[in-house]
Structure 1
Amino acid sequence: MPQRVVSVNLCTDQLALLLAAPGQVISVSDLARDPTASAMADQARDVPSNDGQAEQVFLLNPDLVLAGAFTAPATVQMLRRLGIRVEVFAPDTDLQGIRDNLRRMGQVLGRAEQAQRMIADFDAGLGSPPAGPRPRAAIYAANGYSSGSASLAGQIVAQAGFDNIADELGLSQGGHIPLEVLLMSRPDLLILGRRYPGHSRAEEPLDHPALRALMAQVPVVTMSDPDWVCGTPHVLRTIAALRQARP
């Protein structure tokens, strides 16, 4: 079992904090402490953070480094050349990926039994989609981006008991929905991307008067990035919130 685990990726931060033994994780990424990004910001505050640079990570003398698929390849290669074990985790694109990454994290941390229990708890909390008619939901974020069923966000929507307008438009992988198309689609639920401080042209569609009018007519849920971004059991909170919003 590794004793000095360092994570340099937001999603591996959270998987490790969920499963590791006390004191096993000695450092997490700076983002782990950011409550706008991390669902485990409170737990991460007691763990030293790192900037993800190979030099800083090496000085921590880790026996295992956890990285993401988008971690700088040069960082991963340098650490491996220095003889440090690096495990790279792919982002989850569906609910099965959550189980797979929990299971793998349990294996690399020497916490396989804990991982299996967490997967069982996750499945129990997930349950089945609500019975009956399936209302139609639309995800609408900056630049009019929407996620379809071939994505984690899309599977969250489906598990909550909604059909996805992105799928109706042939965007199962995700893509841009023009505002006029969204309005003509007449969703039963609107799932809006989170707004951030400051002005962004990408967010201008979210301020359009026509969208505001639609928001006055249908239920609206705002995406909570900490629960949506990484594939962890925290997606259960999002699924529960969407189920409560069913018309």
Structure 2
Amino acid sequence: MRLTGSILALALLLPCAVGGQGHGRAVTVTGEVASDAVPERPGRVVSINLCTDQLAMLLAAPGQLLSVSHLAAEPRSSSMAEQAGAYRLNHGRAEEIWLMQPDLVIAGSFSRRATVDMLRRLGVPVVVMDPAYSLAQVSDRLREMGAALGRETEAEQAVRDFEAALEALRDEVSDPPRAAIYDANGYTAGNRTLAGEILATAGFANIATEAGVAGVGRLPLELLAMADPDAVISGRRHPGASRSEEILDHPVVQALRDRSAGAVLTDRDWVCGTPHVLNAIAEMRALRRTVAAE
């Protein structure tokens, strides 16, 4: 999967090997739960999804997390690329993961289904977690990861820290400036998305809502031009060429950026529902204050 400037669009649109230790237990997550028992406190954990990688790195006990996906080490896509250097990197293949002899594998709902199914047939407990589609679900995912790792106390502290920091970033804005999230293929995000909630929490009015887009959808270029937003926010362009990104070079989009407070997202802080979304909110909050000053 190519994580380019369209990483935001994707995010918006856009689970014991033999010898595992501990008594089995059920783990409740929003996504799927493996039918086999999950160890109480797994000692060898492998994550195969970018977002679960970061949640696991935040909460795992020293020595508990064995491996994270190779995407976790890519600075353009991961908010914890430096920390990922402390772990083995995997490519989500069942054979490489099996050879690590994990007590638990944590996957995302968009992880390779063949890998998840094969590991379960081999008797490896797998927990599958859904992405976070709202700020409230960031707390939910922290608790789910804490339950999977047997680190509930640490997860509750992380939730308290996250929610306190989130509340501190909220401002009362009587006349919010209007912003457009506009990404590859003309995709935008309404208020019923994680990106939309980041924008709203930072004090912006989202023109996607004006256009009748509540979730993720395409915003015609004509509607973008007529909306005349105060800020146009797009994904960071990556090396290489993609026809899906050509619309971002359209003269209308460029003109809107030139005469408004155009902004480029730090995709890695937007793509996963982790406490790193606080960085995205802070960045948009600073942009909103710049717009207001103008």
TM-score (norm 1): 0.97
Q: 120, 137, 144: which is aligned to 1:97?
A: 137
Q: 238, 249, 258: which is aligned to 1:207?
A: 249
Which string of whole-angstrom CA distances, capped at 9 and with x for unpartnered residues, describes residues 133-188 of structure 1? 22111100011110111111111111111111111111111111111210110111
Residue aligning to 1:124: 164
- Give ranges in structure 1 of 5+ residues lacking alignment: none
Residue aligning to 1:197: 239
Alignment-mate amino acid for residue 111 of structure 1:
R
Measured in 2, the distance between the counterparts of 1:90 and 1:44 equals 21
Q: 101, 104, 120: which is aligned to 1:64?
A: 104
Work out the percentage of aligned pairs sharing the same amino acid.
53
How many Å apart are 1:198 and its aligned residue?
1.7
Secondary structure at the counterpart of residue 56 of structure 2: helix
Which string of whole-angstrom CA distances, capped at 9 and with x for unpartnered residues, describes residues 21-80 of structure 1? 111100111111111111100000111111111111011000000000011222111111
Mapping of 1:85-164 within 5 angstroms? 85-127=125-167, 129-131=170-172, 132-164=174-206
Kept in 2, the 8 Å contact 1:141–1:194? The answer is no
Residue aligning to 2:223: 181
Measured in 1, the distance between the counterparts of 2:267 and 2:287 equals 18
Kept in 1, the 8 Å contact 2:231–2:257? The answer is no
Residue aligning to 1:45: 85
Measured in 1, the distance between the counterparts of 2:158 and 2:261 equals 32
Which has the higher relative contact order, 1 or 2, with Cα contacts under 8 A spaced 6 or more apart? 2
Residue aligning to 2:54: 14
Measured in 2, the distance between the counterparts of 1:185 and 1:192 equals 16
Which string of whole-angstrom CA distances, capped at 9 and with x for unpartnered residues, describes residues 93-133 of structure 1? 11111110000101111111111111111111111632122
Measured in 2, the distance between the counterparts of 1:117 and 1:29 equals 25
State whether structure 2 residue 65 is matched by structure 1 residue 25. Answer: yes
Alignment-mate amino acid for residue 126 of structure 1:
L
Residue aligning to 1:231: 273
Equivalent residue pairs, number: 247
Q: Which shifted more, 18-27 or 213-222?
A: 213-222
Kept in 2, the 8 Å contact 1:129–1:158? The answer is no
Alignment-mate amino acid for residue 73 of structure 1:
R
TM-score (norm 2): 0.82
Measured in 2, the distance between the counterparts of 1:71 and 1:6 equals 13
Task: Could you list the structure 1 runs, at least 4 aligned residues long, displaced by more than 6 angstroms after superposition.
Answer: none
Measured in 1, the distance between the counterparts of 2:122 and 2:136 equals 34
RMSD after superposition: 1.0
Measured in 1, the distance between the counterparts of 2:70 and 2:237 equals 21
- Give ranges in structure 2 of 5+ residues lacking alignment: 1-40
